[in-house]
Structure 1
Amino acid sequence: MKRRNIIILLSLLITSLGFSQGNCSKFYPMEEGQSFQYTMSNKKGKPEGTTDYSITEVSNAGGVTTATMNMKLTDKKGKEIMVSDFKMSCTGEGVKIDYNSLVPSQMIKQYTDMGMEMEISGTDVDIPNNLTVGQDLADANVTVNIKMTGMNMTMKVDQINRKVEKRESVTTPAGTFDCYVISEDNISETMGVKQNMSSKLWLAEGIGMVKQEMYRKNGELNSHMELTKYNK
């Protein structure tokens, strides 16, 4: 897998995860069997593939609910690109996503099978239950260090300037939803080479992520993803 594709996937995972209402969260699913499908498009609006999420397991312990999510990424020809599982946990205050879980297990296996070592660190992303317009949200990040014979490689993605911009109604093939719009800046770095982008996330109570857009440094739209169907 090319390093650029890994960075894009990490950015996607960091910025786009948000689902339906559960026991302890307004925006993330905590019930087995729920599933969501998103269609990804390029800046010209042409479909490039789909991402399917499903909840495979939910557990409760010590006042914390933990859900295991399965993600499947498929290209526009229907070819499976990647499958991965990750976990998120929530209390009555909101959701935190474990970045160690967000790094795709398939990517880890690919590198370890090649004799490489991986070290993953980061700061969990936080989505509070009580969002208000103008609210600032905590920064988040993930860093992946890959060690190989004679060479070390570091990939890093930072989410900064996270803010609840406004509320607005959004329509997708899955329906019409009242959403919070969350904006943020995304800085990715691979072996000293940085890429700056920004994103907007439309998040609806009882559903989660409805739409997400990524923008280049100059403000030009780079990619688009929207909810096309879901099963609760």
Structure 2
Amino acid sequence: MNIKFLSSILFLFGTTMLFGQNSCSKYYPMEEGSTFQYTMYDKKDKVEGVTDYVVSKVENSGGNTTATMELKFTDDKGKNVLESDYNITCTGDGVKIDYRSLFPSQMKKQYEDMGMEMDITGTDIQIPNSLSAGQTLDDANVNVSMDMGAMKMNINVETYDRKVEKEESVTTPAGTFNCYLITEKSKSKVMMSNMETSNKVWISEGVGMIKQETYGKNGKLMSRMELTKFSK
């Protein structure tokens, strides 16, 4: 089991996937068939993989709109590494992600088939429709406890100190976009191993996340991810 990859996926789901626009949400897709592609690069600017997203289902109930996001992660050699999905709910003032759906469903089934008991807890991640420079955003976290008799493991990812810094223009292979820059910090704990990072995330109204950069505790760039394709 690649723990580093697993904690990275949890962090990726939970803090950066801001898409699309409709009457309910400015930064999440609520239209079936919308697609987004993000390319991930390492600190030397080498491609590490590509993640493709599609909005597979949209449902309305009790004044709320819920969208199901399906994703496929392909590594730098073109191998399909992971397929999963998670849910986004829009209430009109903004959106929240169900923390229980953040753990990749493909991995969850695999571990349960092995007899592993799992408990997933956390705080639903919320993104308001209105963003402005100087604004502070709520913290978020997800914790996964796994128990298979002799082996027990906890994975915790916390995102905190989230701030909207400023507006600026960003260019990627998908085009040039007017964005809000959001900065945040993250702590990942896997048993006795800890990792701290800081992140910069650029999001654009009507499109969503355009670019993300992740820095290590020493302030050096570790990786980046940017929008390379999208369609609505």
TM-score by length of 1: 0.98
* Match runs of 1:40-189 below 5 Å: 40-189=40-189
- Which digits, 9 at most, give the CA deviation of each residue in 1:78-106, with x for residues without a partner? 10000001100012101101111111001
Task: Measure the CA separation in 1 of the matches of 2:184 and 2:124.
Answer: 15
Indicate the SS of the match to 2:27: coil
Task: Measure the CA separation in 2 of the matches of 1:61 and 1:126.
Answer: 19
Q: How far did residue 18 of structure 1 move?
A: 0.8
Q: How far did residue 151 of structure 1 move?
A: 2.8
- Which digits, 9 at most, give the CA deviation of each residue in 1:136-186, with x for residues without a partner? 000000000000112321000000101101110000000000001111100
Q: How far did residue 231 of structure 1 move?
A: 0.8
Task: Measure the CA separation in 2 of the matches of 1:38 and 1:47.
Answer: 11
Q: How far did residue 25 of structure 1 move?
A: 0.5
Indicate the SS of the match to 1:133: coil
Q: How far did residue 124 of structure 1 move?
A: 1.1
- Match in the other structure for 2:211: 211
- Which digits, 9 at most, give the CA deviation of each residue in 1:99-127, with x for residues without a partner? 11111001101111111011000101111
- Match in the other structure for 1:14: 14
1:141, 1:156 within 8 Å by CA — same for their partners in 2?
Answer: yes
Indicate the SS of the match to 2:12: helix
Indicate the SS of the match to 2:23: coil
TM-score by length of 2: 0.98
Aligned-residue CA RMSD (Å): 0.8
2:15, 2:125 within 8 Å by CA — same for their partners in 1?
Answer: no
1:20, 1:206 within 8 Å by CA — same for their partners in 2?
Answer: yes
Task: Measure the CA separation in 2 of the matches of 1:225 and 1:189.
Answer: 22
Task: Measure the CA separation in 2 of the matches of 1:200 and 1:21.
Answer: 21
| Residues 1:33 and 2:33 aligned together | yes
Task: Measure the CA separation in 2 of the matches of 1:81 and 1:193.
Answer: 24
Task: Measure the CA separation in 2 of the matches of 1:22 and 1:82.
Answer: 28
Q: Which runs of 4+ in 1 moved over 3 A?
A: none
Q: Which moved more, 1:167-176 or 1:148-157?
A: 148-157
Q: How many residues align?
A: 232
Q: Which moved more, 1:4-13 or 1:65-74?
A: 4-13
Letter in 2 for 1:41: Y
1:119, 1:146 within 8 Å by CA — same for their partners in 2?
Answer: yes
Task: Measure the CA separation in 2 of the matches of 1:105 and 1:154.
Answer: 17
Indicate the SS of the match to 1:6: helix
Task: Measure the CA separation in 2 of the matches of 1:133 and 1:13.
Answer: 24
Task: Measure the CA separation in 1 of the matches of 2:71 and 2:51.
Answer: 7
Q: How far did residue 22 of structure 1 move?
A: 1.8
Letter in 1 for 2:196: N
- Match in the other structure for 2:230: 230
Structure 1 unpaired stretches of 5+: none
1:15, 1:201 within 8 Å by CA — same for their partners in 2?
Answer: no
